[in-house]
Amino acid sequence: MKANPAAPIHHRVCDLVPDQLGALCALYDRIWPVATGGLLPRANEVGAGWVREGREVFIVWDRAAPIATAMVFPREIMTSRGALRVLALAGVCTAPECRGRGFGAAVVRAAFAQVDRGAFSVALFQTAVPDFYAKLGARTVSNAFVNSRYRPGDRGSAEHPWWDPNVMIYPAAFRWPEGPIDLLGEGF
């Protein structure tokens, strides 16, 4: 029997105290050590960038340690139908020793609730685990994505801004536009 997950706590990144921001960066470094390049030593710089983007996080805490998190922020993208404001979902992870207990699903549901409440019409994200998100009401999309604002040092490339194999949206029933999509910035 799985234990009920603790309720995720919603934080604006700008409201995290330095110890909380450091603990979040340490969790990301544990999960993606190569991809992050070590966030903890750069926590203040990284946090300042997240604040500029208006990022928010949903975190399940175990005392002072985050054990699951999902990060969100608004992003405008360009579609064949014009500009579309999406909820960008990024940085979803659970501490390895806490997996299989529902914490990951809890933080993603909390993030998706912003769409359900009408703050955004759709969430957009990339993942290597599409079945996990499909169970939560998301679906894959097959558009060609680009980043017309690519700068050297961005992850991905101008022609391929995503690095995970699957791009998904939530909710699955959203009328997603056909044709190429410009992320108007780095993948997330």
- CA triple 174-176-181, angle to 5 deg: 145
The model carries a pTM of 0.93
User: Does residue 2 register a pLDDT over 60?
Assistant: no
Q: Tell me, what's the pLDDT at 52?
A: 93
**3-class secondary-structure state, position 169:** strand
pLDDT score of 5:
58
59 — pLDDT class (breaks 50, 70, 90): very high
Higher pLDDT, 44 or 114: 114
* Mean pLDDT, rounded, for 19-33: 94
Q: What is the pLDDT of residues 126-185, one digit of tens each?
A: 999 999 999 999 999 999 999 999 999 888 999 999 999 999 999 999 999 999 999 999
pLDDT band at 1 (very low <50, low <70, confident <90, very high): very low
Residue with tokens 């994505």: 145
Note whether 167 and 126 are within 8 A (CB): yes
